[in-house]
Amino acid sequence: MANRDVKPLVKRWFALCLVCLAPAAAADRNASPNLDQLLHAVEQRYNKAQTLTLSFTETYTASRRPSQTESGVLALRKPGRMRWDYSTPSGKFFLSDGKAVYLFSPDERKVEKSSLKETEDTRAPLAFLLGKLNFYKEFKRFTLRPEGANTWITAEPNSDALPYSQVEFLVTPQAQIRRVRVTAPDHSVIDYAFDQEKLNPPLAPALFAFRLPAGSQLVEAER
């Protein structure tokens, strides 16, 4: 997802996110057992997984700007480890080693570092990737709409302090998340499409160890 700060997974999603042919019906926790079942199934699928790999395409759209699309492969390992390796743009990566996060911008030959704790409040839309998904804790005002065999879940964040105003999840009948679309208060949108998901593949811990790319500078992100 273009040059971004160390909170890219939401801030230009975030910073990773309904309308249908018939009007979408508002759903709440007490009134919609189908909603409860769907949310629980998604939580169970991802919260139980210890490792995960998938391919991703992310598209950032903002008013009066051309859309920007990036893609690559994502690997995750509990607790708190993830690595986004970009093929477009080549060489870019976003890494969490469980304590800190690192964003490498190859054009600038610079790695920005921040603590993992500092970015946790912005990761809720993609919390399923780290096995921390709790829909009712993070979101409210759910609506559902079908798209073929799949279902779009739309929700709003429980906190007004977060850098997004709406999140949409496209979920398969197998409770697999295929899309996450995040809308910011300024109406910019970052859309993640996921494919080739593998639950619990073998992943070496060394994959999530940070190594400074040759000729690059490590800088602490501004707080």
CATH of the domain at 190: 2.50.20.10
Q: Looking at the domain assignment, is residue 163 inside a domain?
A: yes
Q: Looking at the domain assignment, is residue 195 inside a domain?
A: yes
Q: What is the pLDDT of residues 57-75, one digit of tens each?
A: 999 999 888 999 999 999 9
Q: Looking at the domain assignment, is residue 2 inside a domain?
A: no
Q: Looking at the domain assignment, is residue 3 inside a domain?
A: no
Q: Looking at the domain assignment, is residue 1 inside a domain?
A: no
Q: What is the pLDDT of residues 184-207, one digit of tens each?
A: 899 999 999 999 999 999 999 999
Q: Looking at the domain assignment, is residue 147 inside a domain?
A: yes
Of 129, 130, 173, 136, whose CA–CA distance to 155 is shortest?
Answer: 136
pTM here is 0.79
Q: Looking at the domain assignment, is residue 41 inside a domain?
A: yes
Q: Rounded to whole angstroms, how far apart are CA atoms 118 and 99? A: 10
Q: What is the pLDDT of residues 157-183, one digit of tens each?
A: 988 888 889 999 999 999 999 999 999
Q: Rounded to whole angstroms, how far apart are CA atoms 185 and 180? A: 17
Q: Indicate the residue type of 131.
A: G
Q: Indicate the residue type of 86.
A: Y
Q: How many distinct structural domains can be found in the chain?
A: 1
Q: Looking at the domain assignment, is residue 212 inside a domain?
A: yes
- Which range of residues forms the domain containing residue 89? 8-220
